Chains A and B, each alone.
Chain A
Amino acid sequence: MSWYLILSAILFGLGVAGFIYRRNVITVFMSIELMLNAVNLTFITFSYTLKKVDGHIFSFFVMVVAAAEAAVGLAIILTVFKNRETLMIDDISSMKY
């Protein structure tokens, strides 16, 4: 069981590393999804250990929120790209153009 938690920690750490290291907005966004997935794995693991289904439901809600977040986030990325013609976060550092 602790192996699953360690795998989850590794995936979360990789997500944080990608979030900080990458400069493409879409890849940064995908790193966030990786972190959400790692948290889901922790929920499912504890659900298995405690023999309760509640963790699965939390993980289901995380998926729903991730879907909503992906829709809105990608719409924001589309709008930013339409206005500035770039996806690199170094070029989008100011909020007002």
Chain B
Amino acid sequence: MTALIFFIFAGIAVFCGISLVVQTHPIASALSLIGVMGSLAILYLQLGGEFIAAAQVIVYAGAIMVLFVFVIMLLNAGAEGRSLGASPFAKYLGILLLAAFLGLISFVIQAMLPRTEGVVFGAFQGGTALEFGRKLFTVYLLPFEITSVLILIAIVGAMVLARKEL
């Protein structure tokens, strides 16, 4: 059952990933990215990451993608045209090279890693908000506080960049 769910949602993720790359319209790419993020959230849930799955849906698929779609709509971005001086030969060679590279990576992952039993839902219970928060606010407290400074810098930077005169 776990493996079946993995293959279904891995298939959706790969399909949406390919769709993100080959679609010419930015809105179609954005919707494909939302599909990838949603199926990845299901896989996180299966690996025991309840909090991260929720954060993936809320922060990524919610906040960040809304920002993307908003900017695409605001700029009225249309479909992109053909690039100057791009030969179709290079494209097919690139697809071939990517497939070969991914095959090599898969082989290395299969051959090098020690044998482990398959993923079972519920085998790892440490990903709840309780465990996550306990670790975040004890061991990783300093990085968490530094993150707030980073967010502040990002807010100020975005406001400076979006001023009228620049």
Contact = CB atoms under 8 A, between A and B. Distances in A.
Contacts of A71: 67, 154-155, 157-158
B8 interface: no
Contacts of A11: 13-14, 17, 36
B87 interface: no
Given A71-B67, A78-B74, A78-B75, A5 B29 contact: no
Report which residue of B49, B131, B136 has the largest number of chain A beta carbons within 10 angstroms of its beta carbon.
B49
Interface residues of A, number: 67
B17 A53 contact: no
Nearest to A1: B116
A53 B140 CA distance: 11
Given A31-B21, A53-B132, A13 B6 contact: no
A31 B101 CA distance: 18
A14 B18 contact: yes
B29 A27 contact: yes
Label chain B's interface by main secondary structure. helix
B162 A23 contact: no
A74 interface: yes
Nearest to B80: A24
A60 B52 contact: yes
Interface in B15-57: 17-18, 20-21, 26, 29-30, 33, 36-37, 40, 43-44, 47-49, 51-52, 55-56
Interface of A: 1-7, 9-11, 13-18, 20-24, 26-27, 29-31, 33-34, 37, 40-41, 44-45, 47-49, 51-54, 56-57, 59-61, 63-72, 74-79, 81-83, 87-88, 90
B50 to A, nearest CB: 9
B45 to A, nearest CB: 10
Contacts of B1: none
Given A3-B6, A10-B17, A11-B13, A26 B113 contact: no
A82 B162 CA distance: 10
Contact of B47 (A9, A18, A44): A44
Interface string B89-114: 00100100010011001100110010
B94 A64 contact: no
A2 B74 CA distance: 42
B47 A64 contact: no
A75 B157 contact: yes
